[in-house]
């Protein structure tokens, strides 16, 4: 994959990841890794009486899988060679992710801006996590600092 530089990206550019189905094993492993054994994720009987009616994935599990799915796009493959820094994360949990849901990620450039240093720029990506029904279940913005093409400087 050729490098993707700040100068190659324009507002409105977008990429879609392949899908991934969320499994019970994902939830159990994430609970063990994170130490988050909250009943909404681990107790099927308890969840029958909740608003959701069944167990849901941890919000941060969804975010983690979304991050991994993003790496399977040409955008992330290209900018992995030119990224200087991830500058932040503004994330919203819009709906539940259930066991057996299949999610994918859409990455869209929503802003580009130059910096005071001529060798770099800022790109803001909107990352949308979408389930098999077309519902956005998580969404957020991630500003990234990228190198500019050497010939531009």
pTM: 0.94
pLDDT of 153 strictly over 80: no
Which residue segments constitute the domains of the chain, with CATH numbers given? 6-152 (3.10.129.10)
Contact call for residues 69 and 16 (beta carbons, < 8 A): no
pLDDT tens for 41-50 read 999 999 999 9
pLDDT tens for 21-39 read 999 999 999 999 999 999 9
**Element containing residue 147 per DSSP (H, E):** strand 136-147
Cα-based distances in Å from 15 to 9, 26, 94, 120, 147: 12, 25, 21, 22, 20
């Amino acid at each position: 994959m050729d490098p993707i530089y700040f100068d190659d990206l324009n507002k409105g550019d977008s990429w879609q990841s392949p899908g991934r189905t969320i499994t019970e094993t994902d939830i159990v492993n994430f609970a063990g890794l994170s130490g988050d054994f909250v009943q909404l994720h681990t107790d099927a009987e308890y969840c029958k009486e909740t608003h959701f009616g069944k167990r849901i994935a941890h919000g941060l599990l969804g975010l983690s899988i979304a991050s991994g799915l993003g790496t399977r796009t040409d955008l992330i493959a290209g900018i992995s060679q030119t990224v200087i820094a991830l500058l932040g994360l503004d994330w919203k949990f819009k709906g539940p992710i259930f066991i057996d849901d299949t999610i994918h990620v859409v990455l869209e450039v929503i802003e580009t801006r130059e910096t005071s240093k001529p060798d770099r720029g800022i790109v803001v990506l909107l990352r949308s996590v979408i389930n098999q029904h077309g519902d956005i279940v998580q969404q957020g913005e991630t500003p990234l600092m990228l190198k500019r093409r050497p010939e531009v400087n």
